[in-house]
Amino acid sequence: MRFFCSLFSLLALATTAAVAQNAYILSPEDLTQVSAGSNFNVSIGQPDSNSSWKNVAIVIALLNCNEYSSGCMGPAEELGTVLYSGPYDPQFTNEPGTGGLPPHENFTLTIPSDFEKGQSQLGVALFDLVGVRTVHIGT
């Protein structure tokens, strides 16, 4: 996904950071205009599931692609400048226009004022705990 910005482009990609769970970028949309030094909104969604996991943290980062001749590396290889790292607690919302959205959380992030112009990639890494086996402790 690509969107061109007055100072740089963001290419939104999400990565899976756990075996049973993933997170993905709902917004910003492709071709959204953003300037260095400004705030922008990011919405990160997560599939609704009955699986046994607990979100521990999420990292949202921006990688400038100018230094790579063949385009940006994927977020699994390099995330870039961290814009947010901390708790992630996606919820369903009852706000108008959000009826079809999965559980999600919205973040307002700031692009560093000295961030280089050009195509960039927005990447997400999710860290969670997954319960996959039941164990019986006996005497």
Whether residue 139 lies inside any domain: the answer is: no
Q: Which domain holds residue 71?
A: 8-130
For the entire predicted model, the pTM comes to: 0.75
Beta bridge pairs of residue 85: 59
CA nearest 115: which of 73, 42, 59, 66? 66
Task: Confirm whether 2 is domain-assigned.
Answer: no
Tally of domains in the chain: 1
* Residue 137 forms part of a structural domain: no
124 within a domain of the structure (yes/no): yes
Greater model confidence, 134 or 18: 134
How far does Cα 38 stand from its chain's mean position?
A: 18
Q: Within a domain: residue 83?
A: yes
Inside any domain, residue 138: no
Q: Is the pLDDT of residue 21 over 50?
A: yes
Residue 118's pLDDT band (boundaries 50, 70, 90)? Answer: confident
CATH at 79: 2.60.40
What are the residues whose beta carbons fall under 8 Å from the beta carbon of 137, sequence distance 6 or more?
Answer: none
